């Protein structure tokens, strides 16, 4: 069977707190997979790991058969698409959203400036920094 993503005991730690804790999964090609869990469960962090936005603390993963340590992992990442943010932030850019490009730009900068230093996008205090980013 061909897998798009396989994770093997994947771990991400912030300040001695495992926000992704030994996650192992196999997502077969052609399947739709969703992450469901409470705020701070590690869903966004897992996607950031796979997208290469943050570094893992332990474990490994393969993406389209390429190991995460492989020099060609970037080529595998170009085959995927992900929006690792709160979708509601982007609704204003949809037609009829009523916000000009510059207003949207400043709102995004404002959200980024107030975001958790651990790259958390949770509206409740994250397990890493215990701070509400909004």
**What CATH number does residue 38 fall under?**
3.40.50.300
**Which residues face 27 on adjacent strands?**
5
As for how many domains the chain has, the answer is 1
Q: Provide the whole-model pTM.
A: 0.62
Asked if residue 25 belongs to a domain, the reply is: yes
Q: Which domain holds residue 12?
A: 3-77
Give the model's pLDDT for residue 129: 54
DSSP 102: H
Q: Residue 133 falls within a domain, yes or no? A: no
Q: Say if 28 falls within a structural domain.
A: yes
Instruction: Return the beta strands (E) in 35-95 as ranges.
Output: 58-63, 66-67
Residues 6+ apart with CB under 8 A from 132: 123, 124, 125
The per-residue pLDDT for range 36-56, each reduced to its tens digit, is 888 888 888 999 999 898 999
């Amino acid at each position: 069977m061909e897998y798009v993503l396989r994770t093997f005991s994947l771990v991400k730690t912030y300040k001695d707190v495992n926000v992704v804790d030994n996650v192992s999964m196999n997502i077969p090609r052609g399947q739709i997979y969703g992450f469901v869990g409470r705020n701070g469960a590690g869903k966004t962090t897992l996607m950031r790991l796979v997208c290469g936005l943050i570094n893992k603390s332990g474990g490994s993963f393969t993406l389209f058969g390429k190991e995460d340590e492989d020099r060609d992992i970037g080529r595998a990442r170009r085959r995927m698409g992900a929006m690792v943010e709160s979708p509601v932030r982007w609704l204003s850019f949809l037609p009829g959203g009523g916000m000009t490009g510059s207003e949207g730009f400043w709102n995004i900068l404002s959200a980024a400036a107030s975001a958790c230093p651990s790259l958390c996008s949770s509206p409740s205090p994250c397990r890493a920094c215990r701070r509400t980013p909004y």
